[in-house]
């Protein structure tokens, strides 16, 4: 079928089409939606038809495209908003300065920090290098447009196994190793060139990510409070100045591509949806934007991300209670011949929209000229809440903002997934010794040393990374829990940044899994001496039109919100990424949590590597038989539905004990207990410190030996106490501290009644260090 | 001259990205640094207020980063832009004994400009060395240990005792110092004779070691060199990143003392205050 007869091309020297929706049958309407590439549903198309019928005319292709962007899942959160509102919005909003493209929180009396995380999954699955690079570019702009100087990047990544057999690879899907190489390189080349340290992140491997890898990107920024701007115009008369890169055909339909499942045709059909990144345009854009803003020349600004101009113009104008008129002819182009709808929805990179008072326009243009960055006035703000577009003198678009931005909201059906909850419990056989198991866990791709990746990212540029992602004695690196930045020259106050996710737990029990993710990010922050202050989340799930996927989403969000609310830690920004599915199925439900914490004095921070022979080791927090989703059960192909829950009182108390102990100088090293349990935690601490330890686990409760070693119960930390300072540790009966043993020797010896592990630290290190170097 | 009068030009273009921390290193020691865009020196697109002259400054710093994306070759575009418009100013600057520091990308730029190693005169017409791709083929961000081998020529290291090992981290993809094969041995011999070799990559025991202690495979493990007068200095590692102890990668193991990079800035300011 063709809907050709419904399109009538206007007699203009450029492509402009009126679409006769009023005379279209329902099948024809769906054909129009399909041909436009917008993915609008029949119901949504009917709303558009009725709206234009009331106006007495047909929509233009520019208008239909624009509505398609604005109403996409990616832009209007139509399937998720109802749950986000119920569970995560509105937590401790008094502490939040602004929630725009990035959330803004108070850092100290004079400074604020901005944070945001989002996904760039589908572009990276099709074009890993460019997809990941432009993901970084986009998240930097989200922070920049709040008026903040970006200071750090965060990159959590999720892949299929690196040694996945090529024979089993579904059609049209790229091998995990290829994706991994391209994505790491894309992040490296963009982040390093633009001069921002990549300080935190993570890599997870699971077969569910083979068909649809996940690339999440986060950014943190800092600003003087007086320089913080809203993503809004000041009022009528403001000039809209488009700055940064030129507009081209790259990145057309990015948001609609992100709002559909991947297919084997995605490579062919959607490559053009991936933008091309240019860090050496972005770097001067950052300088020029901040300089113009600090001089007080900018009233408000917003980045051009998903939907390009079509989203930014309406949103920045409406946020100031206004509308706008834009002349698309003025937009600087990469090539001649773009149709107005292409200019309007292109997602070409490195672009920002500044709203500027007329008297300041020349000064703004001068700042950008010095940095050789294009800056062009393209429109003006008008009092009516409408957007009108002109191209070569022809009006091509005239829409009420309230209609354009009032995307549909759905309360789609949810139903309990046929999840692993009903799977039969299967427990591993008890063993006399667990040396081999520990070595295998350390070599597990989900646990092993990430130095292969981390050392390719500059994590020290800007010279304010106080606690780095790799920690330990020179030449003996292990992982830390959180990075700490010292963002203000005159102050020792620190900003800690940590990333957490546990898709395995969420896959078995999304509610407890969601809670676990928040617990983990909090204990990561506490482990360096920071108190959690704000969170931002990137929620990667499957197709929300399938009730079991949406149920996972709802339960996970509920869990996340519950713990955040109990801790009174706000979530001032976030991102939802649905449709992470390929024909092979959905990815594990994957909420990524990025947490920021405040450190009172960075000189008090601690790292995870063991420091001194003879120091006491202790465990804070209670250990239970929580083996569900544990690395040990996954490795032994066993199963338990008992995913760790979070005892909020114990979490709160535990954090105070740990942070208090660090601030009082009693704790000299600390590591949270997560994947692989106490055994892996201790091993990592030994590897970083290049020392051994003698540990007795008999006092942590009545448990099987493997649970003592490998349980992943939440809210736990292992601490090393400074000799003579043990008594300075805060005490709280809700977060008991149990003495485990002492630091020293050349091997990690763990017993509980009898010896369970006795392995040389060198051997542990070898297992831990070799995996990625071998697989890549 | 008082240190508080020493004016430092921290020069940048698009992609220069370590200017803030380089600027701060001088500011913390009481000097007068200023971040200056290359166009402010060449006079393009700037107002009278913004225009600067290189001769107004006592010191020139080329910070790290990826100037112009390091497309073509690391530092090549910045060097070409500088050389085409400022050759004479640069030569006069160096002749006047004013110090020039190039860190990481800045070192690459100095080599591309011909200001280092400058075997004959102040500035060679074509580069006499290159900072090639690391042997690993990757960007390497890692702690590196540098032994000071300079016997006193370099004005940037006078406050560092000979043979002292300093922890100054590296972060680069192109840091392998190389010379033209046919002239390599002669250039090296001259560099040693002129006391132009400043830092070498070593392991914790102070031995010349391979990867990862030498992150790039540089000839003779050389991390930094100076010109014959010791006033132009380039190095791949980043002293500005370890100005304070608490940005050392292992500072939590020994938190006391100052950062190892600080002495580089103190040395050159000491020189400036006594000789300029």
pLDDT tens string B230-248 = 999 999 999 999 999 999 9
* A460 contacts chain B (CB < 8 A): yes
Residue B17 to residue A194, Cβ atoms within 8 A: yes
DSSP, residue by residue, A434-503: -HHHHHHHHHSTTTS--HHHHTTS---TTS-EEE-SEESSTT--EE-S-EEE---TT---EEEEEEE--H
Q: Which residues of A touch B241 (CB under 8 A)?
A: 460-461, 463
Give the chain B residue nearest A193 (alpha carbons).
B66
Residue A752: pLDDT band with limits 50, 70, 90 = very high
Q: What is the mean pLDDT of residues A339-360?
A: 95
The pLDDT tens digits for B137-156 are 999 999 999 999 999 999 99
Please report, to the nearest 10 degrees, the dihedral formed by the alpha carbons of residues A425, A553, A444, A704 taken in order.
Answer: -30
Residue A530: pLDDT band with limits 50, 70, 90 = very high
The better pLDDT of the pair A221, A256 is held by A221
pLDDT at A418: 67
Mean per-residue pLDDT over chain A, rounded: 95
Of A456, A460, A486, the CB nearest to B169: A460
Question: Residue A420 pLDDT more than 80?
Answer: no
pLDDT at A171: 87
Question: Residue A3 pLDDT more than 90?
Answer: no
Q: How many helices (H) and strands (E) does chain A have?
A: 25, 32
Q: For residue A770, what are the contacts with CB-CB under 8 A and spacing of at least 6?
A: A443, A448
Q: Which residues of A touch B256 (CB under 8 A)?
A: none
Query: Catalytic annotation on A122?
Result: no
Question: Residue A256 pLDDT more than 80?
Answer: no
pLDDT at B171: 98
The pLDDT tens digits for A263-305 are 777 766 776 777 778 888 889 999 999 999 999 999 999 999 8
Contacting A residues, span 416-455, partner chain B, CB-CB under 8 Å: 454-455
The pLDDT tens digits for B186-202 are 999 999 999 999 999 99
Question: Residue A251 pLDDT more than 90?
Answer: no
Residue B141 to residue A460, Cβ atoms within 8 A: yes
Q: Can you list the residues of chain B whose pLDDT is less than 50? A: none
In angstroms, the CA A246 to CA A243 distance is: 9
Q: Do A254 and A330 touch, CB atoms closer than 8 A?
A: no
- Shortest Cα distance, chain B CAs vs residue A481, angstroms: 14
pLDDT at A421: 57
Q: Are strands A465-467 and A483-485 parallel, antiparallel or unpaired?
A: antiparallel
CATH 3.40.50.880 fits B3-275, yes or no: yes
Query: Catalytic annotation on A74?
Result: yes
Residue A419: pLDDT band with limits 50, 70, 90 = low
Q: Kindly list the residues of chain B whose beta carbon comes within 8 Å of any beta carbon in chain A.
A: 14-15, 17-18, 20-21, 24, 37, 39, 45-47, 50, 64-66, 68-71, 138-143, 145, 167, 169, 171, 204, 238, 240-241, 243, 246-247, 249-253, 255
pLDDT at A289: 97
The pLDDT tens digits for A370-390 are 999 999 999 999 999 999 999
Of A455, A461, A467, the CB nearest to B17: A461
- Shortest Cα distance, chain B CAs vs residue A153, angstroms: 15
Of A281, A461, A468, the CB nearest to B249: A468
pLDDT at B120: 85
In angstroms, the CA A412 to CA A417 distance is: 15
Question: Residue A646 pLDDT more than 70?
Answer: yes
- Which of 1.10.8.750, 2.130.10.10, 3.40.50.300, 3.90.1150.10 would CATH assign to domain A4-74? 1.10.8.750
DSSP, collapsed to helix, strand or coil, labels residue A16 as coil
pLDDT at A1: 53
With pLDDT > 90 as the criterion, what percentage of chain B qualifies?
Answer: 96
In angstroms, the CA B225 to CA B81 distance is: 23
With pLDDT > 90 as the criterion, what percentage of chain A qualifies?
Answer: 89
Domain residue spans in chain B?
3-275
Q: What is the mean pLDDT of residues A190-210?
A: 97
Question: Complex ipTM, two decimals?
Answer: 0.97
């Amino acid at each position: 079928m063709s809907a050709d007869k419904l399109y009538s091309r206007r007699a203009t020297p450029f492509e402009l089409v009126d679409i006769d929706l009023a005379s279209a049958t329902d099948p024809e309407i769906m054909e129009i939606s399909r041909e436009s590439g917008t993915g609008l549903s029949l119901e949504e198309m009917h709303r558009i038809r009725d709206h234009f019928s009331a106006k007495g005319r047909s929509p233009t292709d520019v208008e239909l495209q624009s509505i398609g962007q604005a109403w996409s899942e990616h832009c209007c959160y139509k399937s998720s908003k109802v749950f986000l509102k119920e569970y995560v919005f509105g937590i401790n909003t008094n502490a939040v300065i602004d929630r725009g493209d990035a959330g803004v929180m108070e850092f100290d009396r004079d400074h604020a920090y901005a944070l945001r995380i989002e996904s760039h999954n589908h572009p990276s699955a099709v074009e890993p290098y460019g997809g990941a690079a432009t993901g970084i570019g986009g998240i930097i702009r989200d922070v920049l447009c709040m008026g903040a100087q970006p200071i750090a990047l965060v990159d959590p990544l999720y892949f299929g196994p690196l040694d996945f057999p090529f024979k089993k690879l579904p059609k049209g899907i790229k091998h995990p190793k290829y994706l991994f190489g391209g994505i790491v390189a894309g992040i490296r080349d963009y982040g390093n060139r633009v001069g921002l340290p990549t300080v935190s992140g993570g890599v997870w491997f699971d077969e569910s990510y083979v068909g649809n890898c996940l690339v999440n990107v986060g950014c943190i920024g800092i600003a003087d409070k007086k320089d913080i701007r809203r993503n809004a115009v000041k009022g009528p008369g403001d000039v809209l100045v488009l700055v940064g890169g030129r507009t081209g055909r790259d990145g057309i339909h990015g948001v609609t591509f992100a709002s559909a499942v991947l297919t084997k045709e995605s490579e062919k059909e959607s490559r053009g949806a991936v933008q091309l990144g240019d860090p050496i345009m972005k770097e001067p854009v950052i300088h020029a934007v901040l300089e113009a803003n600090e001089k007080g020349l900018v009233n408000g600004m917003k980045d051009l991300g998903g939907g390009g101009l079509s989203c930014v113009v309406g949103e920045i104008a409406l946020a100031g209670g206004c509308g706008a008129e834009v002349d698309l002819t003025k937009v600087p182009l990469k090539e001649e011949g773009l149709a107005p709808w292409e200019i309007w929805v292109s997602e070409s990179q490195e672009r920002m929209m500044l709203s500027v008072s007329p008297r300041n326009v020349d000064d703004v243009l001068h700042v950008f000229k010095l940095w050789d960055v294009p800056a062009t006035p393209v429109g003006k703000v008008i009092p009516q809440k409408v957007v009108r577009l002109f191209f070569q003198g022809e009006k091509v678009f005239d829409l009420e903002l309230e209609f354009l931005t009032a995307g549909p909201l759905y309360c789609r059906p949810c139903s309990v997934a046929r999840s692993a909850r009903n799977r039969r419990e299967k427990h591993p056989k008890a063993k006399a010794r667990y040396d081999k198991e520990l070595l295998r866990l350390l070599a597990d791709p989900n646990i092993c040393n990430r130095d292969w990746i981390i050392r390719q990212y500059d994590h020290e540029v800007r010279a304010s990374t106080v606690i780095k992602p790799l920690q330990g004695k020179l030449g003996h690196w292990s992982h830390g829990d959180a990075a700490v930045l010292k963002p203000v020259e005159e102050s020792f106050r620190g900003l800690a940044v940590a990333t957490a996710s546990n898709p395995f737990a969420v896959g078995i029990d999304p509610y407890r899994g969601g809670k676990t993710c928040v617990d983990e990010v909090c204990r990561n922050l506490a482990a360096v001496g920071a108190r959690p202050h704000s969170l931002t989340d990137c929620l990667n799930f499957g197709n929300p039109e399938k009730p079991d996927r949406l149920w996972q989403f709802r339960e996970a969000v509920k869990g996340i919100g519950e713990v955040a609310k109990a801790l009174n830690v706000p979530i001032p920004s976030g991102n939802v990424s649905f449709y992470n599915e390929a024909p092979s199925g959905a990815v594990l439900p994957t909420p990524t949590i990025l947490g920021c914490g405040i450190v009172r004095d960075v000189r008090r921070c601690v790292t995870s590597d063991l420091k001194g022979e003879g120091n006491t080791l202790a465990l804070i927090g209670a250990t239970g038989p929580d083996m569900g989703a544990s690395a040990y059960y996954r490795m032994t192909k066993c199963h338990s539905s008992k995913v760790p829950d979070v005892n909020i009182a114990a979490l709160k108390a535990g954090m105070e004990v740990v942070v208090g102990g660090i601030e009082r100088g009693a704790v000299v090293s600390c590591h949270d207990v997560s994947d692989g349990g106490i055994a892996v935690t201790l091993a990592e601490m030994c590897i970083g410190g290049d020392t051994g330890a003698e540990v007795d686990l008999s006092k942590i409760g009545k448990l099987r030996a493997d649970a003592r070693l490998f349980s992943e119960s939440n809210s736990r930390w292992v601490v090393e106490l400074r000799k003579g300072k043990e008594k300075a540790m805060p005490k709280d009966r809700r977060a008991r501290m149990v003495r485990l043993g002492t630091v020293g020797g050349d091997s990690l010896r763990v017993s509980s009644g009898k010896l369970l592990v006795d392995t040389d630290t060198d051997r542990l290190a070898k297992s831990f260090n070799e995996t990625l170097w071998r697989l890549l | 001259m008082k240190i508080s009068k020493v004016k430092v030009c921290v020069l940048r273009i698009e992609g220069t990205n370590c200017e803030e921390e380089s600027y701060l290193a001088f500011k913390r020691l009481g000097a007068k640094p200023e971040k200056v865009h290359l166009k402010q020196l060449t006079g393009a697109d700037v107002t009278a207020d913004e225009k600067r002259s290189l001769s107004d400054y006592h010191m020139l710093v080329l910070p790290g980063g990826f100037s112009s994306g390091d497309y073509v070759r690391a530092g090549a575009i910045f060097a070409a832009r500088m050389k085409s418009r400022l050759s004479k100013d640069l030569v006069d600057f160096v002749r006047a004994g004013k110090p020039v520091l190039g860190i990481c990308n800045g070192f690459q730029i100095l080599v591309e400009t011909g200001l280092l190693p400058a075997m004959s005169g102040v500035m060679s017409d074509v580069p006499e060395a290159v900072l090639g791709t690391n042997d690993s083929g990757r960007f390497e961000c890692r702690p590196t240990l540098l032994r000071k081998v300079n016997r006193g020529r370099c004005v940037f290291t006078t406050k560092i005792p000979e043979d002292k090992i300093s922890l100054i981290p590296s972060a680069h993809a192109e840091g392998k110092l190389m010379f033209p094969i046919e002239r390599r041995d002669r250039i090296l011999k001259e560099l040693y004779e002129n006391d132009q070799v400043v830092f070498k990559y070593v392991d914790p025991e102070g031995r010349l070691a391979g990867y990862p202690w030498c992150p790039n495979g540089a000839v003779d493990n050389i991390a930094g060199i100076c010109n014959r007068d010791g006033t132009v200095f380039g190095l791949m590692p980043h002293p500005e990143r370890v100005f304070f102890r608490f940005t050392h990668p292992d500072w939590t193991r020994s938190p006391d003392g100052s950062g190892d990079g600080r002495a580089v800035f103190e040395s050159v300011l000491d020189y400036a205050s006594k000789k300029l």
